[in-house]
Amino acid sequence: MSTRMDDETRYTLTVFLNAVVPLLKPLVAAKPELAKGFRGREGVVQISALVDVGEGTDITGKGERRATHLEIVDGELRVHLGEHPAPNLEIEFPSAERLNAFFKGSVNLPKIRGAAANPALLVATVKALLAMSSLLSAKEAPKAESDQELLVKLMFYLLTTGISQLNKAGHPQVRELTVPSPDRVYAFAVDNRPDLGAYIRIKAGKSKAFRGAYTRSAPFFTMRFDSVLSALGILLQTDDMLESTAAGKLTMAGSPEYGAELGALMMVVAGYAQ
């Protein structure tokens, strides 16, 4: 008998594999202590979950899987969505539910293949995953300014990529915005910090997330913050959006109704990622 995921499990898995795991690249690049573990190394690390066990299994007895893999080239991480045919190291969960629970903080050990041949790569990957989990689970702004900036960047990336990936996965609330939409760009920005920005382009049901500032013209809608701490106040939900707007900490550049729609989608992504 074949076992299939329900929609909520599938959407959660989509956010973790396609939006959260890719954050390892900018995280490692920003943290010398993490980059050191990958320095000079080559290989492919895959994070996967079996999603169909039973009649759908292949000749090896394994079910269909969902995966994201990291290609390490001379110590640099390159992220690829989807399965790699022969990863050097694989962190495999027996189900989507198990992977989702792990990323939500449960003690849930996966099966690890290739650890004996690649112990240093395993240690570097686990350290990066733990660092990312610690940063993204913050309930208040980190004390170090560099960590504050990094958290804003990662959360902007997570929100834009998460919305786009949920759109591709057919999430009804996201599709409600994207399907009738003409060509529009929605952006997140911090004043005088274009390096922290991110945006998503939407057109007729299609979407794509980008990192950095949108420079071709003014975006259709921008959620702009006057500082990193102001951004964290909203992203970590420690500040009230209306009060931040009244105080000038947050500016909605565009029609208010689109700000409400974007805010609702932010909550959708956050709900799956937490």
H or E element, residue 271: helix 256-273
- pLDDT at site 53: 53
Q: pLDDT tens for residues 135-191?
A: 999 999 999 999 999 999 999 999 999 999 999 999 999 999 999 999 999 999 999
Q: Which of 130, 125, 60, 39 is nearest to 89 (CA)?
A: 125
Please tell me the distance from the alpha carbon of residue 5 to that of residue 28, in angstroms, as a whole number.
32
Please tell me the distance from the alpha carbon of residue 44 to that of residue 120, in angstroms, as a whole number.
13
Q: pLDDT tens for residues 215-261?
A: 988 899 999 999 999 999 999 999 999 999 999 999 999 887 888 88
- pLDDT at site 62: 58
For 59, residues 6+ apart whose C-beta sits below 8 A from its C-beta are: none
Write the DSSP symbol of residue 29: H
Structure token pair of residue 144: 């170090």
Q: pLDDT tens for residues 88-113?
A: 999 999 999 999 999 988 877 899 99
- pLDDT at site 63: 66
Q: Whole-model pTM?
A: 0.93
Q: What is the dihedral angle through the alpha carbons of 13, 18, 23, 26, rounded to the nearest 10 degrees?
A: 170
- pLDDT at site 105: 83
Q: pLDDT tens for residues 24-75?
A: 999 999 999 999 999 999 999 999 999 875 544 444 555 688 999 999 999 9
